[in-house]
Structure 1
Amino acid sequence: MVLQLTWPIPRLKSFHRLQIILQHLRMSKHTDSVHEVLLEKKGCAGIITMNRPKALNALNLPMIQQIYPQLKTWEADPETFLILIKGTGGKAFCAGGDIRAITDAGKAGGRLAQDFFREEYILNNAIGTCQKPYVALIDGITMGGGVGLSVHGHFRVATEKTLFAMPETAIGLFPDVGGGYFLPRLSGRIGYYLALTGFRLKGRDVQKAGIATHFVESEKLPALERDLTALKSPSKENVAELLNSYHVKCKIDQEKQFILDEHMEKINSMFSASSMEEIMQNLKKDGGPFALKQLETISKMSPTSLKMTFRQLQEGASMDLQDVLTMEYRLSQACMRGHDFYEGVRAVLIDKDQAPKWKPATLEEVTDEVLDSCFKSLGSNDLKL
């Protein structure tokens, strides 16, 4: 007996194809939730997508361990001409490092407190020395670890949704990921101001401050990405040309004055000092509304972090990126050994009482000896680049 098919063959084929497509969609949904980083080759470009939207694409060790080897592979691949990095979810490029995990490990004396910073800084250096054009689409929140994934590359594209900050002094840390390299190289004393106060820059101001190289409308990013990946064997100049063409067409906030313009003279004079205490004296002496606001902000920060950051930027100004990262690794480990980092995370992220009890509690109590010990070589445990 021959079993009669109730469907003609073509219908069966299309049904089968539909089943395959549905299965594929289910799989890709599943893999997206599993893969915190998506790595793909598209046209001439290698594309890195941070894929933890619920955690605002916060960077953790497994993500670093996937990005680094792929970056090196693409850098050596003659068929890959540029590398592009972005985040999913529409809210953040990358809101920073996975601080909670590092805190837990640090308290327990776990290896993660060493490994995370070591491997993160090795990745920051790989981005800073990458031979291929490296384009970061910093759409949305870009803080801490997210800055390290973008600022050392050739091109940083901000949008009206970009929110940049280095807020580490508020949690007993310091602006790491190469902050000691790029912050003192911004114009005037703006880098010191951003590092010590954690001031947030938004949208076009991120480009005006010299952190982003280009400014493009958020909704134009998919088209920009398509155009970038469609380039034929592009050079760095070709990539720059394409980014410039988008930048020039973007009219959002074009006429708006840079948010810190009216304060730049004061920032440059008050933050030009030979010590953290002197900056505080300058602010008190000025006594104007802007100065008093900065005084209030800085007074809430960890005194140890403030002094550490001030010296980090002073020394970093004349170092190359590798030496800065080596110095910052020493500082990261000093923070892991200390009190303020755990207390800052408790006050800001865990209990959220915003009332950290810093030890020492004043700038004067953070002695040169304490500071010197933070900057001291770790011997065989030093970062090797």
Structure 2
Amino acid sequence: MASQVVLVEEKSVVRILTLNRPKQLNVLTSPMISRLLELFLSYQKNPNVKLIILKGQGRAFCAGGDVISCVNDIRRGCWRLATDFMYKQYVLDYVIATSPKPQVSIMDGIVMGGGAGISIHGRFRIATENTVFAMPEAALGHFADVGASYFLSRLPGFFGEYLGLAGARLDGAEMLASGLATHFVPSMRLKELTEDLCGSGASDAASISKIIDTYTQQPHLKDSSAYHRLDVIDKCFSRNTVEEIIFALEREIAHKTDDWVSRTILSMKKASPISLKITLRSIREGRALGIGQCLIREFRITSQVIKGDISKDLIEGCRAILIEKDNNPKWEPSRLEDVTERMVEKYFQRLEDDGWEDLKLPPIPNSHPPLISKL
């Protein structure tokens, strides 16, 4: 039942929502998304709700959406069920991004894919020493979605392209440094922070921020952190094409060994070629678009990916990585040079299929601007 997988606590003017599928790393199912959407929409209209706290039970905040169920639907010939799942998820992301009610996302653990969509679009994003963030979709034959073309494109320099193309993992300190997190709080202090937020009656952003600030620490970036490599990232990931990015990275290690660069190249070469090209274009275009425009465009791409007329890499990637776990996907096309601009362009066009419609987003309450615009 949805009430069991999304727990609700009412504390004065605060609502605490806890994702409660710890054994499944709080992966989002359709009932969970429906329940969260129902709750967030009701809170918008409820003057007695001033603050929403979102967290996860166990060692994950949320490891993403239920991709395996989507792929099973596609295999059964029910690809529309998969697009319906994504449609609802994108609407939820938009409602969170444009909500007039402040949200505190407590990202204490794994935050990937769909988990980023329901947390990064919130106003306050708390990382801890347990946080592990990644957008690994290209390795699964998908692309960085759930509004990632909006929030990745607004990170410093070309750090967003690096995260989307290499599927790189960040810890809590790196999330704070890049702006994906707004605060870093040690996990042992989260309970105390939550009690303080609930007991204070704070409802405006300034008061909430002041409370969180009293628990915030400045974590140390590891020497091996990719964030120390922004010069190399900007130099290489600013190139116009995926091929040029990989070539620039290879030039970096032509005369000097660099394990970080080598790992980055390997990650990209193992990913779906067509997914890499879609991801790069999506992030680049996202820089000039609002959150709603990004999600509408991403839904077009997702629908094309799911229907599989151009490539069936999503099915193959999930088979190899998540289902059979042989980690040896057979991509089609298998090489970057075989992915034409015309093929990529098709993903950004409306799906010509009876009954399919573009993503329709609900009106923004009180014309409130997206709170993530500070990124």
1:157 counterpart SS class: strand
Does 2:250 match 1:284?
Answer: yes
C-alpha deviation, 1:235, in angstroms: 1.0
What are the residue-to-residue correspondences of 1:1-385 with 2, within 5 Å?
A: 35-89=4-58, 91-110=59-78, 111-247=80-216, 250=217, 253-254=219-220, 256=222, 259-287=225-253, 288=256, 289=258, 290-338=260-308, 339-378=312-351, 381-385=357-361
Q: Which amino acid aligns with 1:337?
A: K
Q: Can you give the 5+ residue segments of structure 1 that lack an aligned partner in the other structure?
A: 1-30
Bigger relative contact order, structure 1 or 2 (CA pairs below 8 A, ≥6 apart): 2
Does structure 1 retain, via aligned residues, the 8 Å contact 2:109–2:130?
yes
Q: Which amino acid aligns with 2:305?
A: C
Does structure 1 retain, via aligned residues, the 8 Å contact 2:150–2:287?
yes
Which shows bigger deviation, 321-330 or 370-379? 370-379
State how far apart, in whole Å, the 2-side matches of 1:43 and 1:258 are: 44
Q: Which amino acid aligns with 1:75?
A: Q
Q: Which amino acid aligns with 1:234?
A: S
Q: Are residues 320 and 102 of structure 1, via their aligned partners in 2, closer, same or farther at CA, if it must alter by over 3 Å? A: same
Q: Which amino acid aligns with 1:93?
A: F
Does structure 2 retain, via aligned residues, the 8 Å contact 1:44–1:230?
no
Q: Which amino acid aligns with 2:67?
A: I
State how far apart, in whole Å, the 2-side matches of 1:255 and 1:299 are: 27
Does structure 1 retain, via aligned residues, the 8 Å contact 2:106–2:127?
yes
1:381 counterpart SS class: coil
Q: Which amino acid aligns with 1:263?
A: R
2:54 counterpart SS class: strand
Moved over 4 A (4+): 255-258
Q: Which residue of 1 aligns with 2:372?
A: none
C-alpha deviation, 1:99, in angstroms: 1.2
Q: Which amino acid aligns with 2:268?
A: I
Q: Which amino acid aligns with 1:335?
A: V
C-alpha deviation, 1:286, in angstroms: 2.2
Does structure 1 retain, via aligned residues, the 8 Å contact 2:304–2:351?
no
1:325 counterpart SS class: helix
C-alpha deviation, 1:169, in angstroms: 0.6
Q: Which amino acid aligns with 1:275?
A: T
Q: Which amino acid aligns with 1:384?
A: K
Instruction: Give the total of aligned pairs.
Output: 350
TM-score, normalised to structure 1's length?
0.88
State how far apart, in whole Å, the 1-side matches of 2:81 and 2:159 are: 33
Q: Which residue of 2 aligns with 1:21?
A: none
Q: Which residue of 1 aligns with 2:370?
A: none
Q: Can you give the 5+ residue segments of structure 2 that lack an aligned partner in the other structure?
A: 362-375
C-alpha deviation, 1:294, in angstroms: 1.8
State how far apart, in whole Å, the 1-side matches of 2:332 and 2:84 are: 26
State how far apart, in whole Å, the 2-side matches of 1:217 and 1:226 are: 15
CA offsets per residue over residues 58-100 of structure 1, 9 Å max, x none? 00110010111211111221111111100112x0000111111
1:105 counterpart SS class: helix
State how far apart, in whole Å, the 2-side matches of 1:185 and 1:75 are: 27
Does structure 2 retain, via aligned residues, the 8 Å contact 1:347–1:356?
yes
Q: Which amino acid aligns with 2:332?
A: K
1:246 counterpart SS class: coil
Does structure 2 retain, via aligned residues, the 8 Å contact 1:192–1:310?
yes
